Structure 1
């Protein structure tokens, strides 16, 4: 996250917040659209959180990772996106030094948590496909909750440590940070290279395993009774669909993260405009908005949960036992 090379004193001497170049109507429209995106992010991820926590059928190890991702996305929408959108629209940081430091500490922590949540989902799906019986016996709800807890704790410690090595650019109206070269290398390896390598390698293996299982089940169907064919066919479709949805989730995440990574690497080679950093950071934030729509688009159970939540049926007695998967 070494953003760019700059001379702080020279920049602060020549920097001033630019005057607004848009009409009042466009200015208001930008704020309305930003508020709508924030609202969609917060409400969409809140629905995922409520669904997984409330309905007993959704209390599975994999869904604990989905819950962790939704919680991090929820906080991105509630704590990071409002400040980021105001900063972009105003073209000026108006919240002062203390809020600037808190903003980047929160954004940095949530970004790393999201990356490692996706990486853990990749690990979970890989082992579930590689050895389903061993996975069922070893990976329990208790085990997965411990993994999620450790993920948050470890990344909180890491974010707190690296925070002490951040140098903030505190010109009036600006809010940026840089890291020295040593910590920039450490951060790139820990925050990007390692988790992204895990995600890409394991999801490649996941799709190969899913394809292999689908072929095996198809061949088995040719030598079994119709009833068994129906069961195995359903299992095959469910398996392939799960791999497809999670693959889309990861692909969208990588597309949103890629400009940020490229920007970080280019910052070592050429001088880049700090203002461009706002745009690539906004793109990462938008991933938190997209994720709930992926669930809604591909998972019927999530659409049922939304309906039950919006109609307040979750407040009825024994609503947690409603069958949302069939």
Structure 2
């Protein structure tokens, strides 16, 4: 396994690495707790599309509170000291929540895609919670089925285990065929879907802008008030859609940067049985994958004004009260 790639460093470097790992863990936990608290404290956030952000925050929170802390000693020493049972539990949770995080990103992008391209039918379903609830549960079911049965039963079907007693990694770690199929479903297909949704949103906005310019009133004698129903509302909608497209573009890029190196190296490493990829390089891409869970609380909710105001209300209540009093008209 790649764990222990850092153990060859000096004590000073190990201390620095330990500090950075713990810092990343804390940032991941606090960032996603903030998203969860925003839902608890602010009822304005509890509508259909924002529940997908909550689902994402729960999966990313589990990465920070469970996966990272248990892995840090293993990464630094190269030895698993917590026993085989806890190793299995750690593997199941790690693969489950990381895969669920990816699938939640796809679900959020799909929801944004519908809100822009099929706005009328999307708004009509805003009050219906059954469909989002089913989708949110389905995310976790699919994420579990992708890796967890293999983690739990691979050694029983093979008749023996290839993992040493002081190590902790999946039995299929060097099985190239399984890794290729699983990575395709976990990363490559989601990346294509998220990219497609984003490009479709971008082209949809461009078409709206072209139609708006073509149909703009040219007669000066036209009633000015009537001209402002026609121009103000489409401009607001277009501006909102631009923000959605921009936030999704950032999401696609960050998702690809964080997941592509690990997914590719995992397949290459499995094909050559670990001989062609240095453990340190693989370990670095493994942590890059987890960094995505620490960035998500900032990439997603902070793209929306309601979340920003909810965060401000939690972190700086005095400033929030002042801002609200300034923006509230007095009659």
TM-score by length of 1: 0.80
Change (3 A) 1:16 1:256: closer
Q: How far does residue 77 in structure 1 lie from its aligned partner after superposition?
A: 0.8
Moved over 6 A (4+): 15-18
| 2:142 alignment counterpart | 154
In the alignment, does 2:312 pair up with 1:307? yes
- Does the aligned pair in 1 maintain the 2:29–2:61 contact within 8 Å? yes
Q: Distance in 1 between matches of 2:79 and 2:317?
A: 42
| 1:211 alignment counterpart | 206
| 2:238 alignment counterpart | 236
Structure 1 residues 202-228: Cα deviation after superposition (integer angstroms, max 9, x where no partner): 222222212222333444555662354
Q: How far does residue 287 in structure 1 lie from its aligned partner after superposition?
A: 0.5
Q: Distance in 2 between matches of 1:53 and 1:218?
A: 43
Q: Distance in 2 between matches of 1:17 and 1:281?
A: 12
- Does the aligned pair in 1 maintain the 2:45–2:306 contact within 8 Å? no
Quick check: 86-95 or 236-245, which moved more?
86-95
In the alignment, does 2:24 pair up with 1:37? yes
Q: Distance in 1 between matches of 2:140 and 2:315?
A: 30
In the alignment, does 2:283 pair up with 1:290? no
- Residue 21 of structure 1: which of 9, 31, 49 is its match? 9
Change (3 A) 1:285 1:222: farther
Q: Distance in 1 between matches of 2:64 and 2:18?
A: 15
In the alignment, does 2:276 pair up with 1:272? yes
Query: Where in structure 2 are the equivalents of 1:42-121 lying within 5 Å?
Result: 42-121=29-108
Change (3 A) 1:52 1:249: farther
Structure 1 residues 85-131: Cα deviation after superposition (integer angstroms, max 9, x where no partner): 33333344333322322221111111211121111122222222222
SS in 2 for 1:150: helix
Number of residues of Structure 1 aligned to a counterpart in Structure 2: 303
Gaps of 5+ in 2: 156-160, 219-225
Q: How far does residue 47 in structure 1 lie from its aligned partner after superposition?
A: 0.9
Q: Distance in 2 between matches of 1:19 and 1:191?
A: 30
TM-score by length of 2: 0.79
- Does the aligned pair in 2 maintain the 1:169–1:177 contact within 8 Å? no
Q: Distance in 2 between matches of 1:284 and 1:91?
A: 19
CA-based RMSD of the aligned residues comes to 3.2
Q: Distance in 2 between matches of 1:235 and 1:183?
A: 45
Q: Distance in 1 between matches of 2:228 and 2:6?
A: 71
In the alignment, does 2:151 pair up with 1:163? yes
Structure 1 residues 255-280: Cα deviation after superposition (integer angstroms, max 9, x where no partner): 10001111123135433347343222
Change (3 A) 1:246 1:268: same
- Does the aligned pair in 1 maintain the 2:79–2:166 contact within 8 Å? yes
In the alignment, does 2:170 pair up with 1:177? yes
- Residue 122 of structure 2: which of 135, 139, 142 is its match? 135
| 1:7 alignment counterpart | none
Change (3 A) 1:69 1:226: same
Quick check: 216-225 or 197-206, which moved more?
216-225
Q: How far does residue 308 in structure 1 lie from its aligned partner after superposition?
A: 1.2
- Does the aligned pair in 2 maintain the 1:162–1:183 contact within 8 Å? no
Change (3 A) 1:302 1:220: farther
Between Structure 1 and Structure 2, whose CA radius of gyration is higher?
2
SS in 1 for 2:49: helix
